[in-house]
Structure 1
Amino acid sequence: MAVAAFAAVSSIDLPDRLSHHKLPEPPVDDVSIPATTPDVSASAMSPAPAMSRLQFSPCNLQNLHPPAAASLPVIQTVYHYAKFSRPSEEEALTTVSSSSDVLYRWHLPDPKVCRDSCGGRSQTVVVLLGWLGSRQKHLKRYADWYTSIGFHAVTFTLPMSDIVSYNAGGKAEKNVEMLAQHLADWVSEEDGKKIVFHTFSNTGWLCYGVILENLQRQDPSAVDKIKGCVVDSAPVAVPDSQVWASGFSAAIMKKHSIAAKGLGSNNARPDVLVVESNKDHPKPAVTEAILLSALEKLFDVVLNYPTINRRLSGVMELLSLKQPKCPQLYIYSSADRVIPAKSVESFVESQRRAGHEVRACDFVSSPHVDHYRSNPELYTSQLTNFLEDCVLARCQEEEEEEVTN
């Protein structure tokens, strides 16, 4: 009965039933410019290809008639971002939103930090790809940290309804494709621009794979601008029904989920292996146990559907075998109830064998995608060391070699 109910809900209007309840949005940045969007009736909507060809460039808002389709978001807000060659000048950058939440938003670096000394940071954007059920307000704390040290940040989320109603080449993939094109346009504007990805859970990691796929197909030169990748609470590099069931259960149950509970210690050390007895691991409540069982049976069917299985397997193969030649940092936890630590560690070893520069940190006791909140000092120190040692230092070396040659 639970499987049937979930499948029925999945086939209709999920935004109103499951994922995006109306919540007040956090106040927009000082650099935002409110823009009114005219009503576009279904009969007046232009076909989807028009939206996919839309160029994200400065425009006259009064003449803006955003093409839209049932499977694509509409343009609602315009943000300003600093032009790097002349910081006093500004250009318009489009922020794209769905009917109920912003899909992605650009965050500017702290001008005081950039004025003092940003180095290569002011020409680097960190793309934060959210976990299943995440929203802009959840990713803002990460974006604020990056912008506070001089980086640009883009926060991207996918409505859970788009994931549930997924079909190859459908709405979810078109939204990711739009972001990929936007990033390719941005790095092509002038020399020296760079991208760092920061993904969360398997959803963010798979989004990263689809972005890579788009860039490799449409603009391979943009792939060379990717200088680092941070993977938080992922991956499981096979279509695993238990992992998908746990992820959806956590997104639905939120704080009531077993996935939100760690081992009860905030003193995580990456160099200490903690062995816990079964009694220290909380068990799911009856309601969640039923939901997990139903979802696992559902995903046993869904993930073995030929079209979906081929699509997911293709993206996972790309991420396993064809990642950019850039450093990688994996942040995970032995206490993660969604993504098993052994899956992350196995993937890390395979990437090292493939010749990639890889760092990894086990937070031991923190729950799924909760490492920053559980241990902010360790989390930010891992990011800082990775960015300084593996990203910025390497970029500076490459620039010096180009000048010498």
Structure 2
Amino acid sequence: MEDDDLDYDIHFPPVSASVEEDDILDCSQRKEEPVMILLGWLGCKERHLSKYSEIYEAKGIITIRYILPREILMSTTANLGAVACKLLDLLFDYGLEESPILFHIFSNNGCTVYGHVLDCLLSREDNYKKYQCLQIRGCIIDSAPGKSNLYRGAMAITTTLTPRPVFRWFAYYGVLISLFVGYFLRSFLSSLRVIQRKSQIHEILKYDTSDWPQLFMYSKMDKIISYRDIEEVIAYRRSMGRDVDAICWENSEHVAHFRQHEKAYKEQCYLFVEKCLETELRA
């Protein structure tokens, strides 16, 4: 579906459908169905993200999927704040503003959108007041956040451009050169105050002032995002008294934890959502 220039997908589980049978999580009988907003990684396709939304739809959870396009991420003039507002406005458009809301975000691309969503949710400015009524219950962060790194950034972009290893190295060096040129150009223009520097997503999630629970899912084998960057965020947020869960795998690649550890991945997601909703009931 499209809302102006926002290309998203929303799925309502059928009323007659039975939820996946196990002992964890059943949202089909809740008065207000939970909503899971999934924010995809760079190069993610709709068919990829739909596999994750099926995890939640099997439990009677409404899902909204959105993937920030590469051209918007790379643009210095893109208004990501407007994208974030449009995403949250979908909740009002579909009458879901009273439902418990959760996020499942992937890599730095998903975190970039989520960072601007946080601005909308936590701002005290008058034009953002309506978002303060939303019932945000938790956030799952898959393979993120990572510190800015031109080499890792080039690798992430290259993997979305060509699946053929023989062309990947040529693409990698071409992208790397482009990023270097863009970096120095932005630095120069920033020094002249022509444009402002973009905030670092790693710092945004590290110092995020929200107090809803978080679950970080990551791997030591990830070549795009360093597990040490993620563990720095986890350690800091725990030191500040935030409710943070984490699971680290030894052998799964970037945003491939579900593919390589399907049963454990789904179980962690279900247990986390269940915890978030139980916290809501106790409040």
Shorter-chain TM-score bucket reads 0.7 to 0.9
Offset at 1:185?
Answer: 5.6
Q: Is the 8 A contact 2:155 2:172 kept in 1?
A: no
The residue aligned with 2:18 is 113
The residue aligned with 2:280 is 395
Deviations 1:35-86 (A, max 9, x none): xxxxxxxxxxxxxxxxxxxxxxxxxxxxxxxxxxxxxxxxxx5xxxxxxxxx
Offset at 1:173?
Answer: 4.2
TM-score (norm 1): 0.59
The residue aligned with 1:311 is 198
Flag the 1:182–1:136 CA change in 2: closer, same or farther, 3 A.
same
One of 294, 311, 314 as aligned partner of 2:177:
294
Aligned-partner residue type, residue 154 of structure 1: I
- Give the Cα–Cα distance (whole angstroms) in 1 for the partners of residues 233 and 74 of structure 2: 26
- Give the Cα–Cα distance (whole angstroms) in 1 for the partners of residues 252 and 71 of structure 2: 27
1:198 paired with 2:108, answer no
Q: Is the 8 A contact 1:147 1:153 kept in 2?
A: yes
The residue aligned with 2:160 is 251
Offset at 1:317?
Answer: 4.4
1:125 paired with 2:35, answer yes
The residue aligned with 1:228 is 138
Match of 1:312, SS state, is coil
Offset at 1:109?
Answer: 2.1
Aligned-partner residue type, residue 243 of structure 2: E
- Give the Cα–Cα distance (whole angstroms) in 1 for the partners of residues 92 and 151 of structure 2: 35
Flag the 1:147–1:117 CA change in 2: closer, same or farther, 3 A.
closer
The residue aligned with 1:7 is none
Match of 2:241, SS state, is coil
The residue aligned with 1:68 is none
1:239 paired with 2:148, answer yes
Larger Rg: 1
The residue aligned with 2:58 is 148
1:366 paired with 2:252, answer yes
Match of 1:202, SS state, is helix
Aligned-partner residue type, residue 294 of structure 1: I
The residue aligned with 1:267 is none
One of 202, 207, 215 as aligned partner of 2:121:
215
Q: Is the 8 A contact 1:241 1:299 kept in 2?
A: no
Give 1:2-401 correspondences, 5 Å limit: 77=1, 95-96=2-3, 98=5, 103-111=7-15, 112-113=17-18, 118-120=28-30, 123-169=33-79, 172-183=80-91, 189-190=97-98, 193-217=99-123, 218-219=128-129, 222=132, 225-236=135-146, 238-253=147-162, 255-256=163-164, 286-291=169-174, 293-298=176-181, 300-301=183-184, 304=187, 306=190, 310-313=197-200, 317-388=203-274, 390-398=275-283
TM-score (norm 2): 0.82
Indicate the structure whose relative CO is greater, using CA pairs within 8 Å and at least 6 residues apart.
2
Match of 2:211, SS state, is coil
The residue aligned with 2:23 is none
Q: How many aligned positions are there?
A: 268
Flag the 1:251–1:351 CA change in 2: closer, same or farther, 3 A.
same
- Give the Cα–Cα distance (whole angstroms) in 2 for the partners of residues 232 and 180 of structure 1: 21
The residue aligned with 1:52 is none
Aligned-partner residue type, residue 394 of structure 1: T
- Give the Cα–Cα distance (whole angstroms) in 2 for the partners of residues 336 and 211 of structure 1: 26
Match of 1:113, SS state, is coil
Aligned-partner residue type, residue 345 of structure 1: E
Aligned-partner residue type, residue 130 of structure 1: G
Q: Identity rate of aligned residues, in percent?
A: 26
Aligned-partner residue type, residue 142 of structure 2: D
Q: Is the 8 A contact 2:214 2:245 kept in 1?
A: yes
- Give the Cα–Cα distance (whole angstroms) in 2 for the partners of residues 349 and 235 of structure 1: 13
Q: Is the 8 A contact 2:105 2:140 kept in 1?
A: yes
Match of 1:368, SS state, is coil
Aligned-partner residue type, residue 109 of structure 1: P
Deviations 1:338-365 (A, max 9, x none): 1011111111111111211111111221
Aligned-partner residue type, residue 152 of structure 2: V
Match of 1:205, SS state, is helix
Q: Is the 8 A contact 1:97 1:104 kept in 2?
A: no
- Give the Cα–Cα distance (whole angstroms) in 1 for the partners of residues 165 and 121 of structure 2: 36
